[in-house]
Amino acid sequence: EVQLLESGGGLVQPGGSLRLSCAASGFTFGMYAMSWVRQAPGKGLEWVSAISATGDKTYYADSVKGRFTISRDNSKNTLYLQMNSLTAEDTVVYYCTKVKATSDWFFDSWGQGTLVTVSS
């Protein structure tokens, strides 16, 4: 069974930084691209960032480009999202997601989400 367990969320001040982690299990992590998707409470879904299976290609939404960095450690089966220069608009739940198949940017597995709150 695929499991994605996010951690690292919490309260941070505006302008601060936070690193999210996603521990993956139940599949061969290094064979699948991964992504982060976020959602404000009661709102829609917003794709944030994605990374290829080997980590050599990364993609970002314009809203986070230059502030967020996605990375992965295939030896640890872990996905990361380094978030800098956080603003109130970044106060959302962040989901770690696994793509369904290579080069297929649909998400067949989701973590339970981790809440990031940006507030002074």
Partner 1 sequence: EIVLTQSPGTLSLSPGERATLSCRASRGIRSHLAWYQQKPGQAPRLLIYDSSNRATGIPARFSGSGSGTDFTLTISSLEAEDFAVYFCQQRTDWPLTFGGGTKVEIK
Closest approach of partner 1 to the CB of residue 43, in Å: 9
Q: Residue 19 Cβ, how far from partner 1 at the closest point, in Å? A: 21
Nearer to partner 1, 23 or 61 (CB): 61
DSSP state of 87: -
Please spell the DSSP secondary structure of 27-92, one letter per residue.
Answer: S-GGGS-EEEEEE-TTS-EEEEEEE-SSSS-EEE-TTTTTTEEEEEETTTTEEEEEE-S--GGG-E
Nearest distance from C-beta of residue 47 to partner 1, angstroms: 4
Please, which residue, 29 or 60, has the CB nearer to partner 1? 60
Contact footprint for partner 1 (CB under 8 A): 35, 37, 44-47, 50, 59-62, 95, 100, 104-108, 110-113
Residues near 76 by beta carbon (within 8 Å), at least 6 away in sequence: none
Nearest residue (CB) to partner 1, 73 versus 108: 108
Nearer to partner 1, 16 or 55 (CB): 55
Q: What is the DSSP letter of 55?
A: S
